[in-house]
Amino acid sequence: MKKILISLLLSVFPLLAQPLPKAKDVRFYPPLNTQNVEYNPIISPTGRYLVFQSNRPGGEGGMDIWISENLSFPDRMKLPVWSAPKNFRELNTTNFEGMFSILFDEEEKPYELYFTSVRDKTQKDSKKNREGYDGLNLYYTKINQRTGLWSVPVHVNEINSNFEDKMPAVSPDGCSVVFSSNRPGGLGGFDLWISKREPITKDTEKSPDKPKIKCRDGIWQKPISLGPVINTSEDEISPNFHWDGLRLYFSSNRGDKNRKFSFYYSEFNEVNQQFETPKLLGNPFNTNQPLSGESTGFPFDTPSDYSTYSLWEESDNEGISVTFDDLWFYFASNRPGGEGQFDIYRTMVPEDLRRTYDFIFRGLVLDGSEAIMIGLDSTLKIYDDTKPIQVITSKRIGGDLSIEDAENFRTTIKTGKLYRVEVSSPGFHPTELLLDLRGNVGKEKEQYSQIILQPIRPIKDNRPDKTIQGIRFVVKDKKTDLVIPNAICFYFDDLTRKGKSLTSVDGHFDLEDTPVMDFEILARAKGFKEETFLFSKEKIVEMTGKETVLYLRNSKDFDDLYNTIIYFPFNERTLSDEDKKKLDLFADFLIKHKNEKVEIGGHTDNIGNKEYNINLSEDRALSVYQYLRLKGVPKERMKVQAYHYSQPIADNETEDGRSRNRRVNFKKID
């Protein structure tokens, strides 16, 4: 069984559930849409790239394949800002190229591309000459993993005919392709046909959290019609698979007096291995009924005034894809109000179209009162929105709990929702955790969590100590809770950019002058990992007259890879090839050690104001975060923290020192 493995040390402060915000449905403006045709949008799994076909100016001629990058990436809720599309000149010719399908690998990179084109032996570039039959044909190309370039496209002899074969859709596992054709043997017009292949070479599983390509090669079998369950005497075109391979989207003009196309979808029945009767997508939003801008299916088939509306009397809807997180539909339509002919639109996937699967939540509740922890009797209440849907218990167990997957609770819940789990036991501080199972979670998944409850200890007198003038800090060992005698501390704020050394008196550090703004304390000690502690001005009042403990971890508690540092040139945010090699090693370590969680800290020199430096630090940390995500590190095990100039590792007075301070480094967290 595939699983998501997360080990949590949870504080007594509860996490607040944040509902998924309602986002507006939009059409896109230039440079994505133009007065020409923008058709068949295929969104990449992460939502970073949009590939589509267009006959806009600037291409090779005729219909071409284009690609645009989302400049708002990786924010999945922010409105995408699409870059000026680039022509896919590697594949395009002066003739027709379009109506394509892309197969993505486990790292969410393009692996195979199937597209529609025509026979042509007249191209100046011999690599672009096309073999083939009369009419439209399907062609295949594969990425070269070494060069990053597409291979010379090959005519798919096993599938094509002397009729019109177009619009391929490859299943996510690579084992099936559905396409549209008017060849004999169908029900009339264009029908949907399917071909399958068995892999020649055996594939090894790389990542359990990604859709696995089972068929990376193999010979396509003779196509067969999807039959009367899917096809009609009218036209069925533009197929595309859902990311789980168990739903097929397509367009049809069935039953439409004006022969306009609407979106349909069909579920794949895994028991009888057949597609089921199609449903009109967004029903009732494709019908002659009053519509509202608040409808979950909007803007499918909705005019500008939201009046009663019939799609097939007004426009065609052809070509649709869904993001891997199951949040967004991208589709093409020639409805009124666009930039030109066909335009690209986006809308949120309605809740009733998002998949739900059984999901196993299991783990270990531990007694945190001793250095060697044992399993603890506790109660776990699982909430869906505001109501508890399950109450389960964990059992007290002893023995060697260091063995992998030791557990004392287990239950099954459904994906597609955000859950809050309350964990409590008499004599211990209760805690909470969130299970965010919205969006793309997938089938046969589970989460393993270690939950440590801390005992309730006698409350210390928290009244201000009159002997403390201002704010007092003491530096202690995280593991032993003992004072570290050789520690040093530095104070930073927006006016003290170089830092101010604090004097140690009897093992503590006092700030006699109460700060008036946000400030930070950098704590260092030989043999320990240095740490910066952030304090907002709102906390100053409650800290005054009290002792604040700053905990440091012993360097021996860290793997050497935590000492990895990524340096950046002045004002730069992008990673070099050398940086990526370092991060590859760190990613392998995190994937192998499933209980490790890491803070990715971005840093700057002391040039520029605090606000600018924090934004720059965050951009640097996000570039590292995103690369580690692409390498397969789960997002739940990484935290991004933006620092500015308060954690220098060198003198900011020299260029060499400033260059060492412009960096991202890593911190192990609980």
Can you tell me the mean pLDDT for 472-487? 88
| pLDDT band, very low/low/confident/very high, at 646 (cuts 50, 70, 90) | low
Residue 32, pLDDT score: 93
Asked if pLDDT for residue 594 goes beyond 60, the answer is yes
In whole angstroms, give the CA distance from residue 101 to residue 181.
16
Asked if pLDDT for residue 220 goes beyond 90, the answer is yes
431 and 568 in a single domain? The answer is: no
Q: Which of 354, 242, 255 is nearest to 310 (CA)?
A: 255
Residue 485, pLDDT score: 87
| pLDDT band, very low/low/confident/very high, at 114 (cuts 50, 70, 90) | very high
Tens of pLDDT, residue by residue over 147-174, are: 888 999 999 999 999 999 999 999 988 9
Structure tokens at 197: 């292949």
- Residue 104 bridge partners (DSSP): 110
Of 41-50, 267-276, 340-349, 438-447, which gets the smallest average pLDDT?
438-447
Can you tell me the mean pLDDT for 535-542? 88
244 and 156 in a single domain? The answer is: yes
Q: Which of 174, 264, 253 is nearest to 217 (CA)?
A: 174
Q: Is residue 285 a part of any domain in this protein?
A: yes
| pLDDT band, very low/low/confident/very high, at 46 (cuts 50, 70, 90) | confident
Can you tell me the mean pLDDT for 308-337? 75
- Tally the domains of the chain: 4
In whole angstroms, give the CA distance from residue 137 to residue 125.
20
Tens of pLDDT, residue by residue over 172-209, are: 889 999 999 999 999 989 999 999 998 887 665 544 44
Tens of pLDDT, residue by residue over 483-526, are: 998 899 999 887 787 788 999 888 899 988 888 888 989 999 98
Asked if pLDDT for residue 578 goes beyond 80, the answer is yes
- Residue 638 bridge partners (DSSP): 598
103 and 133 in a single domain? The answer is: yes
344 and 366 in a single domain? The answer is: no
499 contacts 462 by C-beta, under 8 angstroms: no
Structure tokens at 401: 């709990």
More confident residue, 3 or 111: 111
**Average pLDDT over the chain, rounded to whole?**
82
Q: Which of 334, 336, 332, 338 is nearest to 320 (CA)?
A: 332
Q: Is residue 261 a part of any domain in this protein?
A: no
Domain that holds residue 385: 358-455
What whole-number percentage of the chain has pLDDT above 90?
34
Asked if pLDDT for residue 10 goes beyond 60, the answer is no
Asked if pLDDT for residue 397 goes beyond 90, the answer is no
425 and 509 in a single domain? The answer is: no
Can you tell me the mean pLDDT for 458-476? 72
Residue 289, pLDDT score: 33
What residue type is assigned to position 373 of the chain? Answer: M
DSSP 8-state class, residue 614: H
Q: Is residue 363 a part of any domain in this protein?
A: yes
283 and 158 in a single domain? The answer is: yes
Asked if pLDDT for residue 22 goes beyond 70, the answer is no
Q: Which of 76, 4, 15 is nearest to 419 (CA)?
A: 15
251 contacts 262 by C-beta, under 8 angstroms: yes
What residue type is assigned to position 164 of the chain? Answer: E
In whole angstroms, give the CA distance from residue 173 to residue 144.
19
**What would the DSSP string read from start to end of 332-393?**
EE--TTSSSSSEEEEEEPPGGGS---EEEEEEEEEETTSSS--B--EEEEEEETTEEEEEEE
Q: Is residue 151 a part of any domain in this protein?
A: yes
399 and 450 in a single domain? The answer is: yes
321 and 401 in a single domain? The answer is: no
Q: Is residue 382 a part of any domain in this protein?
A: yes
Asked if pLDDT for residue 5 goes beyond 50, the answer is no
524 and 660 in a single domain? The answer is: no
Q: Is residue 233 a part of any domain in this protein?
A: no
Q: Is residue 154 a part of any domain in this protein?
A: yes
Q: Which of 225, 147, 242 is nearest to 179 (CA)?
A: 225
- The count of other CB atoms within 10 Å of the CB of residue 407 is 17
Domain boundary among 333, 353, 373: 353
Please compute, for residue 484, the number of CA atoms within 13 A of its CA located in the half-sphere on the CB side.
26
Asked if pLDDT for residue 305 goes beyond 50, the answer is no
Can you tell me the mean pLDDT for 247-264? 87
Can you tell me the mean pLDDT for 462-482? 78
The SS3 assignment for 54 reads: strand
Asked if pLDDT for residue 236 goes beyond 80, the answer is yes
Domain boundary among 332, 353, 374: 353
In whole angstroms, give the CA distance from residue 67 to residue 42.
10
| pTM for the model | 0.58
Asked if pLDDT for residue 461 goes beyond 70, the answer is no
The distance in angstroms from the start CA to the end CA of the chain is 27
Q: Is residue 509 a part of any domain in this protein?
A: yes
Asked if pLDDT for residue 134 goes beyond 70, the answer is yes
630 and 609 in a single domain? The answer is: yes
Task: State the CATH number of the domain containing residue 642.
Answer: 3.30.1330.60
Task: State the CATH number of the domain containing residue 385.
Answer: 2.60.40.1120
515 and 618 in a single domain? The answer is: no
Domain boundary among 427, 455, 483: 455
Strands (E), 516-629: 519-524, 528-529, 531-535, 547-554, 566-567, 597-603
Residue 439, pLDDT score: 64
Q: Which range among 22-31, 106-115, 438-447 has the greatest average pLDDT?
A: 106-115
**What would the DSSP string read from start to end of 302-314?**
--TT--SB-GGGT
Residue 309, pLDDT score: 38
Can you tell me the mean pLDDT for 26-43? 90
**What would the DSSP string read from start to end of 506-530?**
TTEEEE-S--SS-EEEEEE-TTEE-
In whole angstroms, give the CA distance from residue 332 to residue 188.
24
